[in-house]
Amino acid sequence: MSDLVVVGQIAGSFGVHGDVRLKSFCAVPEDIAVYTPLHTDSGRIFRVVVITGQTSGALVARIEGISTKEEADALRGQNLSADRARLPHLPDDEFYHADLIDLAVFDTGGAPLGKVKAVLNHGAGDLLEVQPTGKPATVLLPFTVAVVPTVDLKQGRIIADPPEGLF
């Protein structure tokens, strides 16, 4: 498991004074500001994040070192990651998305199905995007207890009971 966990993403600028639109992946969206310092994909570190409001689908935030619209827009699409040690400990049946990426997926009989490429959520619940073994197209697997009864982080695997015909 990585020492950094993605907790949000910069969605672009908000206004002309360097504020950013911030997508938070935290259970309580505003908690993203508590998990500082935040690291970007490009290696920048932000030690101060102040939530100043909300806009459609995002928070509005003031981030240390960003003072113009152009600087904020240049960060669009950058993931923000926090040190795992700063994040709350999760119950046994909850997982950070980052921990599921690259896990091997097997069916209930032990046959390999593929590897988790991404965890998606389009509003109706989490989906695991699985890259099937030897196939070019990915498969979206509902991340529910019925379909994914076992997640074993120590063994680096997921046991799935996918709907008939999905794979």
Amino acid sitting at position 1 = M
What sign does the CA torsion over 12, 16, 19, 21 have? negative
Can you give the pLDDT at residue 138? 96
d(CA 79, CA 82): 10
Task: Write out pLDDT tens, residues 91-134.
Answer: 888 888 889 999 999 999 999 999 999 998 777 788 999 999 88
- Inter-residue contact 162 to 146 (CB < 8 Å): no
DSSP letter assigned to residue 34: G
Can you give the pLDDT at residue 123? 73
d(CA 10, CA 73): 9
- Inter-residue contact 32 to 38 (CB < 8 Å): yes
From 38, 41, 3, select the one nearest 24 (Cα to Cα): 38
Task: Write out pLDDT tens, residues 16-33.
Answer: 999 999 999 888 999 999
Average the pLDDT over 58-80 and give the result.
95
Task: Write out pLDDT tens, residues 33-57.
Answer: 999 999 999 999 999 999 999 998 8
Amino acid sitting at position 152 = D
Can you give the pLDDT at residue 23? 94
pTM: 0.77
Share of the chain above pLDDT 70, in %: 99
Can you give the pLDDT at residue 1? 55
- Ordered domains of the chain (ranges, CATH): 4-85 (2.40.30.60), 97-160 (2.30.30.240)
d(CA 59, CA 108): 41
Can you give the pLDDT at residue 155? 94
